[in-house]
Amino acid sequence: MSAPLSSESHSQLTLRNVTKRFHGRAGRVTAVEDITLQVKEGEFLVLVGPSGCGKSTLLSLLAGLEQVDEGSIKLDGADVVEPGRDRLVMFQQDALFPWLDALENVLFGLRLKPGLTDAERTEAARFYLDLVGLADKEKAHPHELSGGMRQRVALARSLAPNPRVLLMDEPFSALDALTRDQLYGDIQKIFKQRKKTIVLVTHNIREAVCLGDRVVLLSPNPGRVRQIFDINLPRPRRINDPALATLAADITTALSAHLEAPLEGLV
């Protein structure tokens, strides 16, 4: 359990005192408050916490889809102010375009990437569809694919333009357990092969332990970093591994403690 706040030199994605508020019907709500984090090159970071802890907001901020109210987010030293190809997102629903087939969906981001020929783009799209095991489905439209296959296409789509960081917003939560387990395997394989920096948001603590190098525990109202866990289990990890389950139980206990304890007592 550590929060290395000093070694900024090796970190690629830096959040410094990030605060974000929303003006809703219930007045002003602070979604995340004073969050400072560093994501290292090639690290798999997982943000975990109960609903309302601002983890999805944090991901939107990283994606540049929302702007910070206070603090700063930097990628390789440059401020994150708008969405960009260097940070691609896998959403909770697959967000595939229903009017395009699988290959065209993967090509969507590639077509916006300059400096490639059409042949190179098609080749890259096929490579990534193959990587997620859907080489034979390139002509299928999203509605012809299962939920798991759609999320795989979405994964290929976010990987294909070769982003610096892959952001994942609970991409497994709408899938059945079996498909989810398969995808955990796929993601770890791809993470190892492609050496990507990944930030995953989830409310599933086992999932967090299974995938993450570090697990950041957030607490709600307002969203704050409560604790950071280093996960040193060997990869590839299996979700049913007893060691993993033990660690997940520890984090769950820590989470419940934070939820029950009054805020002032902890800060």
Binding site for another protein (CB under 8 A): 63-65, 83-85, 87-89, 91, 93, 95, 97-99, 108-109, 112-113, 141-144, 157, 161
Q: List the beta bridge partners of residue 40.
A: 11
Q: Which is nearer to another protein, 112 or 178 (CB)?
A: 112
**Diameter of the chain measured on Cα atoms:** 60
Q: Which is nearer to another protein, 65 or 244 (CB)?
A: 65
Q: Which is nearer to another protein, 90 or 239 (CB)?
A: 90
Q: Which is nearer to another protein, 164 or 189 (CB)?
A: 164
**Shortest distance (Å) from residue 142 CB to another protein:** 7
Query: Residue 241, Cβ neighbours under 10 Å: how many?
Result: 17
Q: Which is nearer to another protein, 110 or 248 (CB)?
A: 110
**Shortest distance (Å) from residue 161 CB to another protein:** 7
**Shortest distance (Å) from residue 114 CB to another protein:** 9
**Shortest distance (Å) from residue 122 CB to another protein:** 17
Backbone dihedral angles phi then psi of residue 234, each to the nearest 5 degrees: -70, 150
**Shortest distance (Å) from residue 112 CB to another protein:** 4
**Shortest distance (Å) from residue 84 CB to another protein:** 7
**Shortest distance (Å) from residue 158 CB to another protein:** 8
Backbone dihedral angles phi then psi of residue 7, each to the nearest 5 degrees: -75, 70
Label residue 39 exposed, middle or buried (CB < 10 Å: 0-12, 13-18, 19+): buried
CA distance readout (Å), 244 to 19, 33, 38, 175: 32, 30, 24, 21
**Cα 265 from chain centroid?**
30
Q: Which is nearer to another protein, 113 or 189 (CB)?
A: 113
Residue in 247, 198, 253 with CA at minimum distance from that of residue 41: 198
Q: Edge-to-edge, what's the strand order for the sheet holding 78-79?
A: 27-40, 11-24, 70-75, 78-79
Label residue 242 exposed, middle or buried (CB < 10 Å: 0-12, 13-18, 19+): exposed
Residue in 246, 207, 208 with CA at minimum distance from that of residue 227: 208
Q: Which is nearer to another protein, 64 or 223 (CB)?
A: 64
Q: How far apart are CA 74 and CA 15, in angstroms?
A: 7
